[in-house]
Amino acid sequence: MVEKTFLEFFAGIGLMRLGLERAGWKIRFANDIDPDKLEMYRAQFSDADEHFVLGDIHKLPAASLPAASLATASFPCNDLSLAGSRAGLKGEQSSAYWGFTRLLEQLGRRRPALVLLENVPGFLTSHDGRDFQAALLKLNSLGYKVDAFMIDAAWFVPQSRLRLFVVGTLADKSEIPVLSESPGFYQSEARPAALADFIFAHPEIEWQIRPLPGIPKRAKRLEFVLEDLPASSPEWWSLERTDYLLNQMSPRHRAMAEAMMAATRYSYGTVFRRVRNGRSMAELRTDGVAGCLRTPRGGSGRQILFKAGRGKCQVRLLSARECARLMGADNFVVGVPLNQALFGFGDAVCVPAIEWIGENYLNPAIAELTGLQQPLRNSA
């Protein structure tokens, strides 16, 4: 059996590792620049000090990296996100991508056969697609043919978290066929129209598009991941603070809240504060899915739980344990303050989404590359 090993760049608290391990992969190396995330990683993984290197990716020597068959990079999204500066891959944070490709380049013949990138959907549209184009062309220049798809955490857990993934496969080791050139063929559940159009519009990129199976959908709703805190728990907000939140809602969202309160049974929603027309507004979501977990920079990234029914409501922040469950890391060790935990989980990947990619893309691909499995043939 081929040894499926990986290097995890921008490792954060290690949720990429958790997902890949569930799919049968073994960690060889991890790197991140944030000591607070390393603290959480170390609490979860007893072997952290054997392979985790804390430091700036731009300063890592390629010669120090062990051999592996996969390199992952969940590089910073700050400059690619719609909520960020949109500085793109030239931005202070997201330019770390070039630190990753520098290492691949310097590895030479020791380059991993597979590369997995993860980022926000804004990566696709940053600078009218030029950043995404540049990133993929760089992988091409290093010998990788590329594929791209989008996975929403909401397909696995009750959290809306759409993410863009790129897989690079070393061309000189690959026999996986390129699929049809029809943009309609590219479009699928995991390749929405905007991505399919990009693929079709950029023939200068060396693509290697792999057919993907259907993705089973989650059965859990938000209430299934919540901790059962008693009404007297100090985590619940005071009446004055709760009223203030209600008064921040627009008439439509306030009506939704009051309808929940009027019901005979308790129901749950989540609230984010957003600035609308220069004013802080509280926006309520009630479809059984939490909003995307974010890092609490500036205080606006903290997601609020709204419990209502029987003529009343209660409000509190989502707990660290609830955030872990929303990322599919139910039993993750959490021994740090809430804000630190929110930063850790808000910057992470959804574990079952990574597990699905490992089982349905990376495992077949590495088996084909090592000759243990015949390449998947396109029947279209």
For the chain, give every domain's residue range.
5-216+349-369, 228-318
Measured distance CA(169)–CA(175) in Å, rounded: 10
The pLDDT of residue 89 is: 63
- Backbone phi and psi for residue 151, each to the nearest 5 degrees, phi listed first: -130, 135
Tokens encoding 74:
């969940």
Residue with tokens 């909401």: 154
Tokens encoding 272:
């984010």
Measured distance CA(350)–CA(358) in Å, rounded: 13
- Backbone phi and psi for residue 51, each to the nearest 5 degrees, phi listed first: -145, -10
pLDDT in tens, 250-294: 999 999 999 999 999 999 999 998 888 888 899 999 999 999 999
Q: With beta carbons less than 8 A apart as the criterion, state whether 310 and 266 touch.
A: yes
Does the pLDDT of residue 91 top 70, yes or no? no
Rounded to the nearest integer, the mean pLDDT of the chain is 89
pLDDT in tens, 325-344: 999 999 999 999 999 999 99
Measured distance CA(133)–CA(141) in Å, rounded: 12
Tokens encoding 242:
């709760």
User: 64: burial class by Cβ within 10 Å (0-12, 13-18, 19+)?
Assistant: exposed
Q: Higher-confidence residue: 374 or 117?
A: 117
Measured distance CA(11)–CA(344) in Å, rounded: 10
pTM for the whole structure: 0.92
Terminus-to-terminus CA distance in the chain, angstroms?
31
The CATH T-level fold of domain 5-216+349-369 is Rossmann fold (3.40.50)
Measured distance CA(281)–CA(245) in Å, rounded: 9
Contacts of 50 (CB under 8 A, 6+ apart): none
* Angstrom distances, CA of residue 177 to CA of 116, 189, 226: 19, 20, 45
